[in-house]
Amino acid sequence: MKAICIFCSFTIFFTSFTSFSKELDTNFLKRRIPEMMDSAKVQGLSIGIVKRGKLVWSKNFGIANASTRKPVSQASVFEAASLSKPLFGYICMRLVEEGVLDLDKPLIEYVSKDTIEKYFLGYKIQDNRFFKITPRMCLSHSAGFPNGGKFLVYEPATDMHYSGTGISLLQFVVEAITKKNLETLAQEYVFVPLGMDSSSYVWNEKKFADNIVNGHGSMGQTGGFNKHTTPSASYTLITNGADYGKFLAMLLSQKTLKPETFQEMWSVQSKAKTGFLAPMTWGLGFGLYETDLGTAFWHWGDMGIVKAYVVGIPAEKSGVVMLTNSANGLNMAYSLINMCIGGGKHEFFHVLNIPQYDDAVSILMQRFSQGGFEKVLESYNYYKIHHKYRISQVLLSQITQRLINLGRQQEALNIAKINILEFPQNAEAHNNLADVLLRMGKTPAAIGCYRRALQLNTQNSYARKQLALLKAL
């Protein structure tokens, strides 16, 4: 019966996704969120929800440390990872309105070349493209830097590559011209005015020692947390849903900046032409995409064992922020966002490629964890016989590949064999089985499968490439 129930869920979520009402039912959320966390294997979560420009609900759930079973409390704080960047972007826009910063003035005109070389880059500038970089380019990730490198890889303003380096360079310049570090600026422009008492870009032993949550790996293993003593606009923010929700509400109420400034922040400044975010567009401090309710601004945070996400829809003045202490934290984000603010489609999942706990592959993977291959086969056969349900070849291949990546070769082999039995004339199914056999060291058998794939489809370039690599053509 348990197997049947799981596959009922599988069928429902695989065939369609139901959008939830925009009206907020907090009693429903209190019941549903822990269920979602359990299914997605998320240990702790902090959420803040904004409606009509006001923070209307915030709550913390789960456990702070899986090893000690310490519960999350309302005082708990989370590492925000890259959700640090939008808050810095807002500070920069305040400085723009004050005339301290010009979005289109080259950074090299604010701070000398020698100072940037000595205290930020660590090398002599020999690339003239560097002199073109402006604050606008840094905030829209179009300065020309890769993520994590300090050498330009493309002409500024011609592409968009998500990069913490550009944000860090702008932070260096802002701190130099204001003669204040980022933490001081954040306290002045954001934390104190908004009453964000649980937020900081640097470690505060008195505030955080008893309240910080531990990160957790994808299998639930307990990790640690960071105690940053130097503020970074890219990743060191510590906060929670209630505090970050206040920041989000301030943005959506559109009261602290001029209307035209907000409009510029949420207008397309750059577009990714290459890389994993293509064709994502970016504003100033936030990514942008379209929903059924209008343009949304968004950002995600990922430091491996902590994940976070924020989205706002200016036309609705609604948004949600979620911070988690789990590598699986965003695996429940799609459903949660639609439950909280609606919008129907949130295209960031297409570019971030985040599997959701309630999609078909994830549900079958849960069956592997709960009962192994035999239970999955039992459930699948039941639905095939009684409900004429047939799983797709593509999905079977996806499951096989995920099992290969997890090192679960025998289970991958079993699923690949089902793929062949169900789709004997499908070339990709034979490629799939060949990949598993090759990973298991059964090269002659793998060659046979690749050859069969090529027989079934003479245009199958993957099989041909693999046979060439194995010198079997």
Look at residue 348 in the predicted model and tell me its pLDDT: 61
| SS3 (DSSP) at 469 | helix
| Whether residue 422 sits in one domain with residue 350 | no
Straight-line distance from the first to the last Cα atom of the chain, in angstroms, rounded to the nearest whole number:
49
Look at residue 132 in the predicted model and tell me its pLDDT: 98
Q: For all residues of the chain together, what is the average pLDDT?
A: 88
Kindly indicate the confidence band of residue 4, based on its pLDDT and cuts at 50, 70 and 90: very low
pLDDT tens digits, one per residue of 91-129: 999 999 999 999 999 999 999 999 999 999 999 999 999
Question: Given a cut of 50, is residue 18 above it in pLDDT?
Answer: no
Which letter does DSSP use for residue 349 in this model?
Answer: H
| Whether residue 313 sits in one domain with residue 296 | yes
- Average of pLDDT values for 438-466? 93
pLDDT tens digits, one per residue of 204-230: 999 999 999 999 998 899 999 999 999
* Contacts with 321 (C-beta within 8 Å, 6 or more apart), sequence order: 47, 48, 83, 241, 244, 245, 248, 308, 309, 310
Range of the domain at 341: 1-388
* Contacts with 341 (C-beta within 8 Å, 6 or more apart), sequence order: 22, 49, 51, 293, 311, 313, 316, 318, 319, 320
**φ, ψ at 312 (rounded to 5°):** -135, 145
Look at residue 23 in the predicted model and tell me its pLDDT: 67
Look at residue 39 in the predicted model and tell me its pLDDT: 86
Q: Within its chain, how far is the Cα of 210 from the centroid?
A: 27
Neighbouring-strand partners of residue 60: 46
Look at residue 370 in the predicted model and tell me its pLDDT: 60
| Whether residue 418 sits in one domain with residue 309 | no
pLDDT tens digits, one per residue of 165-209: 999 999 999 999 999 999 999 999 999 999 999 999 999 999 999
Look at residue 15 in the predicted model and tell me its pLDDT: 32
Look at residue 5 in the predicted model and tell me its pLDDT: 40
Question: Among residues 388, 423, 446, which one ends one of the domains?
Answer: 388
Exposed/middle/buried for 298, CB within 10 Å: 0-12, 13-18, 19+? buried
Q: Total domain count for the chain? A: 2
Look at residue 17 in the predicted model and tell me its pLDDT: 34
Question: Given a cut of 70, is residue 49 above it in pLDDT?
Answer: yes
| Whether residue 380 sits in one domain with residue 420 | no
pLDDT tens digits, one per residue of 239-281: 999 999 999 999 999 999 999 999 999 999 999 988 777 788 9
Question: Among residues 324, 357, 388, which one ends one of the domains?
Answer: 388
Question: Given a cut of 90, is residue 48 above it in pLDDT?
Answer: yes
CATH classification of the domain holding 419: 1.25.40.10
Distance CA 187, CA 387 (A): 60
| SS3 (DSSP) at 261 | helix
Look at residue 193 in the predicted model and tell me its pLDDT: 98
| Whether residue 287 sits in one domain with residue 138 | yes
Kindly indicate the confidence band of residue 473, based on its pLDDT and cuts at 50, 70 and 90: confident
Yes or no: say if 9 and 363 are a contact pair by the CB < 8 Å rule.
yes
| Whether residue 331 sits in one domain with residue 418 | no
| Whether residue 404 sits in one domain with residue 384 | no
pLDDT tens digits, one per residue of 362-418: 555 555 556 555 666 665 665 555 545 556 777 788 878 888 888 888 888 988 988
| Whether residue 401 sits in one domain with residue 380 | no
